Structure 1
Amino acid sequence: MTLLQIVVLAVVQGITEFLPISSSAHLILTPVFGDWPDQGLGFDLAVHLGTLVAVVAYFRRDLWQLGGDGLASVVQRRHVGESRLAWLLVLGTIPVGLAGLLFADFIEGELRSVTVITVTTILFGLLLGFSDVFGRRARGLASIGLRDALIVGGAQALALIPGTSRSGITMTAGLMIGLDREAAARFSFLLAVPVTVLASAHKLLQLAGSGEPVQWGAFLLGGVLAAITAFLCIHYFLRWLNRFGLLPYVVYRLALGGILIALFW
């Protein structure tokens, strides 16, 4: 990989992982537009680990409390502090874990195409806009219950399809069940931690089984750049969310879908 490829792909991953515009789609499309060879499993693993570091660092206080209270609830056999939210995050992760086990090979083999990305980019962009305009936006993070976690978690499983966007579909589901923008975004970002751990573990197993050599320079640089970019992206997304809403991301998705139709259909 060239230095330009490393920088561009790492920054693209860092920006798109937590914005509702699909990181998987952009990591597939960027080499297509740049006429670059596939970046390989090792680099994909590096940038996923980078974004994991970013979200853990940004929500470190929340995660520390959630983890501590969750463990305390097991020992004391009752809810302790934020343990209820901790277990809801575990519950919300189960659907995507099961879907990954059942359909990962099919998705990676059959659905990583520009056609699929075009359809999902437009379709789920429209759904995001609909939920932002018509959602009641009346509930906070503390109001999330078992049903809500299953709905958002079930929606998250769809994000295995390139172009859907994990953050986009989970925020869409959150808004549709009445969460306000900040609650939907925070629940989505907290859900990103266990999901990214699972995704990184899956890619690590793939890499170990492939025998593909790791370019350690690209691995380290890509991971660091993705982490820095993703951290800044989370910060400014949450800061500007209530001011600008989700319309800019809907417009971007529709514009990208239109460009893909014009170029490839």
Structure 2
Amino acid sequence: MLTYFQATVIGAVQGVTELFPISSLGHSVLVAAWLGGDWKKLVSSGESDTGTPYLAFVVALHVATAVALLGYYWRDWHAIIVGFIITLRTRRLDTVPQRLAWLIVIATIPVGVLGPLLEHPLHALLAAPIYASVFLTLNGVVLIVGEGLRRRNEPSLAEYGRRFALREARGGTLAVETETRRQTDRPLAALGVLDAVGIGFAQVGALLTGFSRAGLTMVGGLWRGLEHEHAAKFAFLLATPAILGAGLLEMPELVGPRTDGIRGPVLVGAIVSGVSSWLAVRFLERYFQTHKLLPFAVYCLVAGSLSIVRFS
């Protein structure tokens, strides 16, 4: 049975690691494996059986994280949703939020199609701690590679952004877009369709236990030359529909009879996860204004390598 203490610890770990580029799923496996005992049994049963109470608990944690992201970026989402609706009527992309809305839609398609097909089979096949250890180590390598890709591709996106700004100015939309928060999103709107598709496929890699959704998406943004803060914001915006959609698909598990007797711990874990996710995105949004992915890469390499030694 899931205890209140377990729910609190797992909720805090999930809420932070879902947004930090260090893999929430990988940590859910490795933390339990390192602790052993009832913790290991709790997680391993949830990974191998799609009808366990633990799966319902994980669903609640993910929904809480998505709600926290929606709350934190509610102004952005309001502008994006309104912009999306307007484009359906006008069939034009005249503003930054309108373009950003379609970039998110396009980038969400790969995980929206492949996620329901591959998520449970991959988790069941690769739920062992040794797989999570290897993929967490590789996640660190990917983060380092992402830093190199950003420096190499920065000039091309800078030129693309200059042309995008010039097109905006000629169309008169810059005069309309006066809100500072939206103006800072212009580098995101400079991404193209192929960029969005590439970043979307990068996000699919998080279906492998140990790879980070936020980390892979950020690397995709850095690959296209985005600054770290813009790559992070796009990663958080893109994660919101993916996490929320996956949670809603599994909602029957959350309200079903298998949660009888543990709804209290599930609720506590969800609250802790939501609060920790809010604090995590607030910290990371400021962190990436001046810092890079390298500290997270080092952590993944060290933690993954030690886990490989421990579980091999």
State the TM-score, normalized to the length of structure 1. 0.94
Residue 72 of structure 1, aligned match among 67, 71, 86? 86
In 1, Cα distance between the equivalents of 2:199 and 2:149?
Answer: 17
Asked if the contact 1:118–1:261 (Cα under 8 Å) also holds between the matched residues in 2, the reply is: yes
Please tell me whether the aligned partners of residues 93 and 191 of structure 1 are also in contact (alpha carbons under 8 angstroms): yes
**Contact between 2:22 and 2:300, CA under 8 Å: does it hold in 1?**
yes
Aligned to 1:119: 134
User: CA–CA distance in 1 between the matches of 2:283 and 2:82?
Assistant: 28
2:37 is the counterpart of 1:33: no
**Structure 2 residue 214 is matched with structure 1 residue 167:** yes
Runs (5+) with no aligned partner, structure 2 = 44-53, 158-186
| Aligned partner letter, 2:258 | E
Please tell me whether residue 156 in structure 1 is matched to residue 160 in structure 2: no
SS in structure 2 of the partner of residue 135 of structure 1: helix
Q: 1:126 to 1:90 in 2, by over 3 A?
A: same
Quote the residue 2:25 is aligned against: 24
The structural deviation recorded for 1:125 is: 1.1
Q: How does 1:1-265 map to 2 (within 5 A)?
A: 1-35=2-36, 36=39, 37-38=41-42, 40-81=54-95, 82-136=97-151, 137=154, 139=157, 140-207=187-254, 211-214=257-260, 215-265=262-312
Q: How many residue pairs end up in the alignment?
A: 264
Asked whether the 8 Å contact 1:70–1:80 carries over to 2, the reply is: no
1:81-109 deviation per Cα after TM superposition (whole angstroms, max 9, x unaligned): 31111011011011011112332232122
> CA–CA distance in 2 between the matches of 1:64 and 1:221?
29
In structure 2, how many angstroms separate the alpha carbons of the residues matched to 1:207 and 1:223?
12
Matched residue type, 2:217: T
Structure 1 outlier segments of 4+, above 3 Å:
205-208
Q: Considering only CA atoms, is the larger Rg found in Structure 1 or Structure 2?
A: 2
Identity %: 34
CA RMSD of aligned residues (A): 1.7
Code of the residue aligned with 2:231 in structure 1: it is A
Contact 2:26 2:209 in 1 (8 A): yes
Unaligned ranges ≥5, structure 1: none
Question: Distance between the aligned counterparts of 1:101 and 1:8, measured in 2?
Answer: 27
